[in-house]
Amino acid sequence: MDCKNNKKKRPKMPNLQRAKQFAPFDALTGLTAALKQAEIEHAKQYEIQLEVDLKEDQEI
């Protein structure tokens, strides 16, 4: 049995359909939002520490 003879030629998939098929998906629901929230909290802590450091530098 020759497998090559049994295969039917398929039409080429349009690029838009390929993009949808291989597009990333949110496997862990809410992960993106949680990461964004953690980033915001980290930025706030960094800003607070920066303000403290600047005040200390001005006092010297």
Q: Where are the domains of the chain?
A: 28-60
Dig out the tokens for 48 from the structure.
């607070």
Given this model, what pLDDT does residue 10 score?
84
Q: Quote the CA–CA distance of 48 and 23 in Å, as a whole number.
A: 38
Whole-structure pTM value: 0.46
Q: Which residue has the higher pLDDT, 41 or 23?
A: 41
Dig out the tokens for 35 from the structure.
């990461």
Q: Quote the CA–CA distance of 51 and 58 in Å, as a whole number.
A: 11
Q: Quote the CA–CA distance of 34 and 46 in Å, as a whole number.
A: 18
Residue 7: strand, helix, or coil: coil
Q: Whole-number mean pLDDT of the chain?
A: 82
Summarize the confidence of residues 24-47 as an average pLDDT.
87
Q: Which residue has the higher pLDDT, 29 or 2?
A: 29
